[in-house]
Structure 1
Amino acid sequence: MALDAKLLAVVQTIGADIKALFARVMPTIARTTATQASTSTSLTAIANLAAPLVAGATYRITGRVIFQSSGLAVGATMGFVGPAGSNALLVIAIPATALISTGTATVRTSGAAGSGSTTSVVAANTSMVATFDGVVTVGSTAGSFALQFATSGVGTVTVQPGSVLVVEKLL
């Protein structure tokens, strides 16, 4: 009986160590499950697209936000916010129209928060994907990192289910 108790204790310890190891190396993946619409030009958090960040750590951030715009002249604003004192260096690409051709509006932004915006989109009421890619270094204050969105003018921008945020701890 004493051997069984010792063996159980060893197995529980190993299990806890393995769980802690996976928590360190596995990315956090967040996904939207419902639509979320906005007629506001003020950035708002995208439901479920947030992840906790620990103080002093560095993370790779990737995100794909599926969205629709209610009209060709209704642009989208995509942004992020991280813990106070953090420094994020992200590239945000949003499908947009130009005078001659279509493409993406790409913004390189840094700091604890940032955003990119378009004044028009490629197609109305059609799913498009805005991308986020970069690195966040958290200062001495832990907190949450979240993706945000808004409309850039009069109209509605709607985030679609299946949008994702992937956060990988690097250091």
Structure 2
Amino acid sequence: MAREKGRKLIAQNKKARHDYHILDTYEAGLVLMGTEVKSLRQGRATLTDGFVQMDGGEAWLYNVHVPEYSQGTWTNHSARRKRKLLLHRSEIDKLEAKSQETGHTIVPLSLYFKDGRAKVEIALAKGKKDYDKRQALREKQDRREAQRAMAAARRRQRL
């Protein structure tokens, strides 16, 4: 049996990068049931409402939707159950201390397979205000317009 190599993306949380300032990122393993892994291998998951909470010195991932496996039987998992994250003790302690600060939260950014194992990229984040979101959108549009102008100038130069 050949082992998978590399990184295969399952789901991404683009909304998190829009709604939060990302301060620090971590890679964590997930404790999953067999039917969850099979469902993830089909590329089905949603991270949009997900968040991480510390409970009893452990990190737990909440509100991540992994749909039930279509060929599953009575052993199927519930779609929005909480899932334990596998992190080093020092990382858990650091995240727990930082998440206690006002305005800080821990959100999942992406869910993927790395060398055949399910991983989640989580981030320590601080919520953006509405004006921050507008500013980021404006900067993105300005960059896009500048790139278009440079591309048009290059095309004119070739003619």
Q: Does the alignment reach a TM-score above 0.5?
A: no
TM-score normalised by the shorter chain: which range applies? under 0.3
Greater relative contact order (Cα 8 A, min sep 6): structure 1 or 2? 1
More helix by proportion, 1 or 2?
2
What is the TM-score with the length of structure 2 in the denominator?
0.25
